[in-house]
Amino acid sequence: MKCGTEKSEDRIREAAKRVFLKKGFDGTTSRDIAKEADMNIALTNYYFRSKEKLFLEIFKDVLEEYFQSMLTILNKDIDIKTKISEIVDNDFEMMKREPDLVIFIMNEMHKAPQRLFPDMSVFRQVRETYLKKQIEEGVANGTVRPMLLENILPLIKCGVEFIFMGKEIHKELFMMNEEEFAKYAEEQKEHIKAMVCNYLILA
Amino acid sequence: MKCGTEKSEDRIREAAKRVFLKKGFDGTTSRDIAKEADMNIALTNYYFRSKEKLFLEIFKDVLEEYFQSMLTILNKDIDIKTKISEIVDNDFEMMKREPDLVIFIMNEMHKAPQRLFPDMSVFRQVRETYLKKQIEEGVANGTVRPMLLENILPLIKCGVEFIFMGKEIHKELFMMNEEEFAKYAEEQKEHIKAMVCNYLILA
DNA sequence: GTATATTTTAAATGATTGTTTAAATTTATC
DNA sequence: GATAAATTTAAACAATCATTTAAAATATAC
């Protein structure tokens, strides 16, 4: 009844995630997924009804993965400066671990935002984070520049994510090989921390 | 011999650019392009030999378009602070005028960097810009934080390009409609100018 | 104005797409 | 261990893909 079932379903899901992340929805064929999972082509539709349905499931997971670890940090009871540093570090590690994730999310949402459902509770969680309260208190007592969470968060995240999303361009543009880029990215990470803190914290 | 020729070829090129920018290489079919240009499907291959060749031509143009207006500013004889402001403004206008351009470039280079030729003279032009000299002089006399062009340029560009590339995510995440996002982006633009100048210029 | 070269067309090419079918196999239930 | 349910398989489906063909239409050359 359900012995190897979850295994097969999960194998397809994991294979599909790998392929979708690398090639995008349009660049991925059902046969690519079946081959990556080393399973029969018909099983994709047996378990997930269609390529589109499978993609939507995976996209939801990927979007949660993108926000989840950041959320934990945003809610930690540490000072803002440390928090910014941890967010940047976390972003950095994520981009190294999953280099396709952010460009994948942005590209798919850019091409077809309407199909990727708005019932994401993660979005609400990000809006109602403890960092928001910290910022509001900081602004009130004059230690933080008067800004909203939605202005601050992208400033923290854009630096690291931008250079990794555009990794190939930056490598080409500034004539770096793989290890030179790695060193460069580390430098850039520290600049971002310092720059954002400089701007945000009115000490 | 060559009456309506250039017209047809250019019509296809322009149509292809629109479709490729919107749907990406994988998401675009030869029929999409023919339909957009309102021409027979066979003409794409008659003028450009293949979808791939047509794409490569257009990608080269798009990459130049991305760097060209910035290059002009980088070489202007104005002080660094003004220059940063103009780069950010220029980026901002580009993202409004061509919202698909940057995410298109990054996504295509991310998926298949090797096929997109390294003979881009624009890259060299960016590396050898007048701003580089300005920075070196500023660093030497202590008015500019000790950094290289390759560290500074992404800091200037990431802010605006990031929020526009992730426009749909930001709209969803912070519950903004189109006009709220426009206002938000303007705010963000000014924050970026101030933040980068604050960090870079050691007055 | 005829001959030649170029451009455009409709139709077809074979390969690949997502998806379905129905039979074969494995697993669970009694 | 027989029966039923769930899973896996090979094969096929129609649709669409990029590309090619060869004829028709148009422009150019003399």
User: For residue range A146-173, what is the model confidence (pLDDT) as tens digits?
Assistant: 999 999 999 999 999 999 999 999 999 9
Domain match, B12 and B74 both: no
The partner residue sitting opposite B126, judged by closest CB among A167, A173, A184, is A173
Token readout for A152 is: 């601050």
The residue-averaged pLDDT of A69-92 equals 98
Range of the domain at B138: 59-200
Task: Measure the CA–CA gap between A36 and B156, rounded to whole angstroms.
Answer: 40
Note which residues in 56-85 of chain B have CB less than 8 A from chain A.
none
A54 domain-assigned: no
Domain match, B43 and B113 both: no
Does pLDDT of B147 surpass 50?
A: yes
The residue-averaged pLDDT of B57-75 equals 95
Domain match, B109 and B18 both: no
DSSP code, position A201: B
Domain match, B107 and B156 both: yes
In angstroms, the CA of B4 and the C1' of C7 are apart by 8
The residue-averaged pLDDT of B182-200 equals 98
Token readout for B45 is: 């291959």
Query: In this structure, what CATH number is given to the domain that contains residue A14?
Result: 1.10.10.60
CA distances from B65 to B81, B98, B196, B201 (A): 24, 10, 24, 29
Does pLDDT of A4 surpass 60?
A: no
Contact A173 B123 (CB under 8 A): yes
Exposure on the CB side of residue B155, measured as CA atoms within 13 A:
27
Domain match, A32 and A80 both: no
B92 domain-assigned: yes
Query: In this structure, what CATH number is given to the domain that contains residue B130?
Result: 1.10.357
CA distances from B139 to A56, B77, B78, B146, B197 (A): 50, 17, 17, 5, 14
B54 domain-assigned: no
Protein-covered nucleotides of chain C (CB closer than 7 Å) are: 5-12, 16-22, 26-29
Token readout for A159 is: 């630096």
Contact B158 A154 (CB under 8 A): no
B41 domain-assigned: yes
Helices A149-165, A178-200: axis angle to 10 degrees equals: 170
Residues with Cβ within 8 Å of A53's Cβ and at least 6 positions away in sequence, in order, are none
Domain match, A131 and A34 both: no
Domain match, A12 and A94 both: no
In angstroms, the CA of A5 and the C1' of D6 are apart by 9
Average pLDDT along chain B: 94
DSSP code, position A144: B
Domain match, B75 and B163 both: yes
Does pLDDT of A2 surpass 90?
A: no
**Could you give the percent of chain A with pLDDT greater than 90?**
91
Does pLDDT of B20 surpass 60?
A: yes
B4 domain-assigned: yes
CA distances from A42 to A7, A33, A50, A145, B191 (A): 16, 11, 10, 57, 52
A146 interfaces chain B, CB cutoff of 8 Å: no
B197 interfaces chain A, CB cutoff of 8 Å: no
Domain match, A81 and A139 both: yes
Does pLDDT of B7 surpass 90?
A: no
Contact B187 A151 (CB under 8 A): yes
User: For residue range A98-136, what is the model confidence (pLDDT) as tens digits?
Assistant: 999 999 999 999 998 777 766 678 999 999 999 999 999
Protein-covered nucleotides of chain D (CB closer than 7 Å) are: 5-12, 16-22, 27-29
Residues with Cβ within 8 Å of A47's Cβ and at least 6 positions away in sequence, in order, are A8, A9, A12
B107 domain-assigned: yes
pLDDT at A1: 34
A36 domain-assigned: yes
Number of domains into which chain A is organized: 2
